[in-house]
Amino acid sequence: MTSQTARDLFVTGLRNAHAMERQAEELMERQSERTSDYPEVQVRLRQHLEETRNQIARLDQCLEACGETASTLKDATLSFMGNLAAMGHAVAGDEILKNTFANNAFEHYEIATYKSLIALAKECGIDDGLLRQSLREEEAMAEWIDSHVEDVTLAYLSREVAETA
């Protein structure tokens, strides 16, 4: 593998990650507005929204270090899709459950993305400190969601029971 190939893959990976995080940002903006019935979830979503904005800034830094910029056109297309996904879930009564499952999957997608970028950064001889920082945040968020699936489900159940009583 030539180092140029590794560098090209790294830059493409950074751009894709940038679009992914923009989509995550939009999804969490919408979800954090709509989770007032689940305060613990809302607090954690707002915290991760801030982390996500920092992650976008880190990806911008990585792209700049490679002499590149993020593709705003591609970001715009993806964030539109992100909005559609959030709207789809918003119509359903069990929005909180579907969003929890979707967020769980999304965080694991992000974890894989950062692991891939870190491997490429190593091949390119580029410092991966910023990417590792983002990876740790994604792992913490994935763990938090994973450990709250039961609580969220039971909280949703008791709201439904109270509504039909």
Angle between helices 129-164 and 95-124 (to 10 degrees): 170
Q: Report the nearest approach of Fe ion to the CB of residue 140 (Å).
A: 9
User: Between residue 60 and residue 89, which ones bind Fe ion under the rule CB under 5 A?
Assistant: none
- Asked if residue 110 binds Fe ion (CB under 5 A), the reply is yes
Q: Are 111 and 135 in contact (CB under 8 A)?
A: yes
Phi, psi of 92 (to 5 degrees): -75, 145
Q: Report the nearest approach of Fe ion to the CB of residue 146 (Å).
A: 13
Q: Report the nearest approach of Fe ion to the CB of residue 111 (Å).
A: 8
- The stretch among 59-67, 71-79, 107-115, 145-153 that binds Fe ion (CB under 5 A) is 107-115
Q: Which one, 26 or 110, has the nearer CB to Fe ion?
A: 110
Q: Which one, 49 or 159, has the nearer CB to Fe ion?
A: 49
Q: Cβ neighbours of residue 127 under 8 Å, at least 6 residues apart?
A: 121
Q: Report the nearest approach of Fe ion to the CB of residue 59 (Å).
A: 12
- The stretch among 36-44, 88-96, 102-110, 145-153 that binds Fe ion (CB under 5 A) is 102-110
**Which residue is it, tokens 């999804």?**
27
Of 95, 86, 93, 97, the C-alpha closest to 150 is: 97
Q: Report the nearest approach of Fe ion to the CB of residue 162 (Å).
A: 32
d(CA 138, CA 5): 27
d(CA 93, CA 16): 32
Q: Which one, 26 or 138, has the nearer CB to Fe ion?
A: 138
Number of H helices, E strands in the chain: 5, 0
- Asked if residue 138 binds Fe ion (CB under 5 A), the reply is yes
Q: Which stretches of the chain bind Fe ion, using CB under 5 A? A: 110, 138
